[in-house]
Structure 1
């Protein structure tokens, strides 16, 4: 009887079968390894060039044919595609062929720019009225038009956010947009109001407007500004409800006093997912609106805003300055990354104002009547935008070309 550890010689047929089996496995292993390598290369490229899908289009599908890989899909711009293929050229394992469509789509034509023509437009995650409202854009907001589909437009807002809208936008060529930007403007300073066709109290209502809305200035009297909407409609704006944009932007300053005074103007405004106006606000839309009205363009979401401004040391406890931003969410664990889900504005110390069920004040101190245990437990960190500059990710409207900045 054979020992349990005895190695028996194989027959010639068995040996040939084993060799054939190994030979057949080699190309399978090579193909699998190549597929993994290709996947890793494209993942690295996406992380490098488009780490945030909310702000950059990078939808690439590979079609491997041996060493040749045909890349299809769409990408944000010609410039980004050039960067991508420069990066891919470093990887000699494959030969990449370009079948990627750059945006804007050809169907968009020459009207690659747009300006919001109503008080607020809804921007959705998909070209469907039932889709999630991702954000909003207010009157006068400049847009980039990237795609067109069945009456919907895929647009990019000045904070780089992407989404679909079918609301009223004045479509423009690049030259027409430059002419619009160069026109003198008026900014709406009251929270919500209705504009009429003339100064007469019984004049017909033309449209509603919200704080931060921008209109072209066509004339003025002692009582009002004569204004034009991006789509050509005309109206009058009482002087008590607006100011010349050049004057406003020159004086816009995100000081602690200005930020808190602006934030308090929105007390009681209801919470609205995706909201960025006095009609309804979500937490990050509140931050965005308050800082915009003080000359700062903030990113759209709390998870993006947490990267703006200087870090505030809270290791010794939360004792903040007015205007600081408090961020809340889920701390990182070995199983998951940190997730920022909420943001508010410090009133100083432990009290803060934020958009929750509505715009309200809460505190992180148990001694205060407006204490929120939930927010205290969810607190992550704080950032200081006031006093910070471009090196800390702060963008000022006066420097942004689409808002008439940097053109001197």
Structure 2
């Protein structure tokens, strides 16, 4: 029997998602309870501590399934991409009004009143989901009593035509391991976030994306590359902005950068090795 990937399966030695059945072994099975992300950005930690490593993030309005709560922490699984981790319990809420719209810009403000001079309550980021009750000439009136600039939202199901254009809007955003918003991104987070805006749910980590996205191209021929091709290394991924330039969130520059692919290949090879795959969506 293949070992279950704990990143994508809620399983511990003592507790497991009931949907795993016999695959969970001797762990106690639990169905879990539905919750929704109530914070602008929710960090999923590897352990129930704020100083523990962040593996990924979830955004406002995203649904999760909670399997355990203890001492202010929730052990949960994200519904969109299946990622498992620990998050602050206070950043979750009971599901209420279902979302109708998503944030369609890198970031925008949520106001307490339909007035741009009002002090914003929070900043919300691309792909956050909200429930809109009605719109006027300028503002969307939300079910939670707050307001967002209407042109910054799109109905769920209204997707972007070019995921690369979405990714390009995040150029110069700081690099953050596990990050998935304009506040900070890692390489696979940039790919996942951009594809989601274009209507495609992608796996979270670069190894999952390498195995699950697109059709393989030769890794020793760069002449035929085009916009939107994904370039993979061991633990890293970037997006071709055109036939020669790579857009990627990286720890070398500590931000999302656009650079010649040849430069990135030469630099990355010295520390992490050669390209492992090129995929075309």
Instruction: Compute the TM-score of the two structures, normalised by the length of structure 2.
Output: 0.89
Structure 1 residue 315: Cα displacement: 4.8
- Higher relative contact order structure (alpha carbons within 8 Å, sequence separation ≥ 6): 2
- For residue 206 of structure 1, what is the aligned residue in structure 2? 121
Q: Is the 8 A contact 1:126 1:132 kept in 2?
A: yes
For the structure 1 residues 314 and 207, does the alpha-carbon distance in structure 2 shift closer, same or farther, using more than 3 Å as the test?
same
Q: Identify which range, 116-125 or 370-379, moves more after superposition.
A: 370-379
- For residue 159 of structure 1, what is the aligned residue in structure 2? 81
1:342 paired with 2:236, answer yes
Q: Is the 8 A contact 1:116 1:141 kept in 2?
A: yes
Structure 1 residue 212: Cα displacement: 1.0
Q: Is the partner of 1:374 in helix, strand or coil?
A: helix
- Per-residue CA deviations over 1:297-336 (Å, capped at 9, x if unaligned) read 111110111112333221551232211111012xxxxxxx
Partner Cα distance (2:137, 2:104) in 1: 17
Structure 2 counterparts to residues 3-402 of structure 1, below 5 A:
44=1, 47=2, 50=4, 52-60=5-13, 73-77=14-18, 79-82=19-22, 84=23, 100-104=27-31, 112-157=33-78, 158-166=80-88, 168-172=90-94, 177=95, 180-181=97-98, 185-228=100-143, 233-245=144-156, 249=157, 251-252=158-159, 258-318=162-222, 319-329=224-234, 341-356=235-250, 357-365=254-262, 372-375=265-268, 377-385=273-281
Q: Is the partner of 1:292 in helix, strand or coil?
A: helix
Partner Cα distance (2:83, 2:264) in 1: 34
Q: Is the 8 A contact 1:116 1:137 kept in 2?
A: yes
- For residue 333 of structure 1, what is the aligned residue in structure 2? none
Q: Is the partner of 1:212 in helix, strand or coil?
A: coil
Q: Is the partner of 2:188 in helix, strand or coil?
A: helix
For the structure 1 residues 163 and 224, does the alpha-carbon distance in structure 2 shift closer, same or farther, using more than 3 Å as the test?
same
Structure 1 residue 371: Cα displacement: 5.1
Q: Is the 8 A contact 2:7 2:83 kept in 1?
A: yes
Partner Cα distance (1:359, 1:322) in 2: 17
Alignment RMSD: 2.2
Structure 1 residue 207: Cα displacement: 1.7
Structure 1 residue 189: Cα displacement: 1.6
Long gaps (5+) in structure 2: none
Larger Cα Rg: Structure 1 or Structure 2? 1
Long gaps (5+) in structure 1: 1-43, 61-72, 86-97, 106-111, 330-340, 386-408
Q: How many residues align?
A: 273
Q: Is the partner of 2:211 in helix, strand or coil?
A: coil
Q: Is the partner of 1:379 in helix, strand or coil?
A: coil
- Per-residue CA deviations over 1:339-380 (Å, capped at 9, x if unaligned) read xx1001112323210001111112233xxxx55512355311
- For residue 31 of structure 1, what is the aligned residue in structure 2? none
Partner Cα distance (2:90, 2:177) in 1: 21
